[in-house]
Amino acid sequence: MVLCPGAEPISYRSWTTQESLLSTRLLIYGRLQLFWLCRCKFASDGGYMDWNDFASHAAWLRLQIEDNDNVVDEDEIALQNELHLDLPPGCASYSKIHQEWTRIVNSYSGRLLTYNTDKLPALSAIAALFQEKLNDEYICGLWRLAVLFDLMWVPAKRWIEKKHNENDYIGPSWSWISYPDLVRYVGRWGDHHEIAKVVSFSATPTYSFAPFGQILPDAELTLEAPLLHGVKLARTEKDTATDGGYPIHLPTALPSATSSEPNQCTLIGTFHPDYPHILQSLDSSPDPTLYCLILHGSPHPNGLVLIPYTPVTGINSINGNHNRFQRIGTFEQYSHKLRNANMLQFDGCGCSHEKLDDRAKEKEDEDLERYLTVLLQRRIVVLV
């Protein structure tokens, strides 16, 4: 699939996304020339822009066209035909169609809307089409079968350029729908071993006749997953970000006989905040404690960084409801000690203590193992 060239004003608007993608034939009025695009050919009326120029400026999603004769690859035609309902569902793999969805999200999320509350409605026709083709349940911009991967969206820019009206409810904190600027996904569904399990989800459409449109502010996603609590932002190192993120650490030594507080810390990963002001809110708190909800294991363990949900003050308070959480970012785990402790290999019921014991060869790792056994209990967590 192709959207209009990035240099053209029409390609910056959210509503034109589904108008472009759901049309089998497009006559594109550029600022300097006309373009014709259908499911098997691209052509222009001349002018200076050829296919290579067009493709390099396009909000490019899926449809690949060979440079020499402007012919579409047969596999891509098959996928495009299926997405346009010319073939029965199931002909293309779930993974391939889902990857197409993530490409659409990568483009659509950075586009402009006059009314922020239109973010779901302006994507609703595409969502309805993909629901039929994926044979899956739609969850506020995410898909149930791939929801653990879909939750791992990250901001594409370090600093956001757009902001939502704080009085407008766009979507839950865990959905990219709630983020006011461009997001991206790294990798694709199926690349990681899934640790968490979906228990339930709920979202009430504002209008019953528009199930893929605007929703009421009651959306929830309930997961069963290991929840690592007591995580701290490494404040003294936060200015030396790792891969664009900020180091987080975990107290790893067991409490001593004279103190109930652990006295050692281990860097466990990188925190990628969703918004710049989250760091300021954490810095202003005397004892900011974060929660890491582990979604995936090998090869690169990752998950969501959470704080207890407080309906009024939001992220300005860290002492909210400890059963309900809101997302403030993502994390990637890189501590070799945690990896050696095999903390992310679960059999569906909990930690494998035999594997932990086999790998804990040093005293420090033994302490870490015992400490993590306490911390890494699978919990029912409600995300809002």
* Tens digits of residue pLDDT in 93-121: 888 889 889 988 988 998 989 998 999 99
Greater pLDDT, 58 or 156: 156
Count Cβ neighbours within 10 Å for each residue of 121-141 and write b for 16 or more, e otherwise: bbbbebbebbbebbebebbbb
Q: Using CA atoms, how far apart are residues 18 and 3, in angstroms rounded to an integer?
A: 9
Residue 62 lies in a domain: yes
Q: Which of 190, 206, 233 is the last residue of a domain?
A: 190
**Following DSSP, what letter does each residue of 287-352 receive, concatenated?**
S--EEEEEEE-SSS-EEEEEEEE-TTTGGG-S-SEEEEEEEEEEEEE--HHHHHTTTT-B-SSSB-
Same domain, 226 and 181: no
Q: Is the pLDDT of residue 133 over 80?
A: yes
Residue 293 lies in a domain: yes
Q: Is the pLDDT of residue 38 over 80?
A: no
> What DSSP character marks residue 255?
P
Same domain, 6 and 85: yes
Residue 213 lies in a domain: no
Q: Is the pLDDT of residue 258 over 50?
A: no
Q: What is the mean pLDDT of the chain?
A: 73
Residue 360 — very low, low, confident or very high, per pLDDT cuts 50/70/90?
very low
Same domain, 235 and 163: no
Q: Using CA atoms, how far apart are residues 42 and 119, in angstroms rounded to an integer?
A: 30
Residue 367 lies in a domain: yes
Q: Is the pLDDT of residue 261 over 90?
A: no
Residue 230 lies in a domain: yes
Same domain, 280 and 361: yes
- pLDDT value of position 40: 72
Same domain, 146 and 252: no
Q: Which of 146, 175, 190 is the last residue of a domain?
A: 190
Question: Positive or negative, the Cα torsion across 318, 324, 327, 330?
Answer: positive
Same domain, 305 and 176: no
Mean pLDDT of 137-156: 95
Same domain, 179 and 280: no
Mean pLDDT of 350-355: 38
Residue 174 lies in a domain: yes
Greater pLDDT, 241 or 16: 16
Q: Which domain holds residue 327?
A: 221-383
Same domain, 359 and 230: yes
Mean pLDDT of 208-219: 93
Mean pLDDT of 332-355: 45
Same domain, 34 and 128: yes
For residues 1 and 82, the answer to whether their CB atoms sit within 8 Å is no
For residues 63 and 84, the answer to whether their CB atoms sit within 8 Å is no
What percentage of the chain has pLDDT greater than the value 70?
A: 61
Indicate the number of domains in the chain.
Answer: 2
Q: Is the pLDDT of residue 338 over 70?
A: no
Same domain, 13 and 112: yes
- pLDDT value of position 95: 86
Residue 49 — very low, low, confident or very high, per pLDDT cuts 50/70/90?
low
- Amino acid letter at 197? K
Residue 274 lies in a domain: yes
Global confidence as pTM? 0.77
Q: What is the pLDDT of residues 285-330, one digit of tens each?
A: 766 778 999 998 866 789 999 999 877 544 444 444 568 999 999 9
Of 67-76, 94-103, 293-302, 361-370, highest mean pLDDT: 94-103
Count other C-beta atoms under 10 Å from residue 166's C-beta. Answer: 7
Same domain, 182 and 231: no
Same domain, 7 and 116: yes
Residue 209 lies in a domain: no
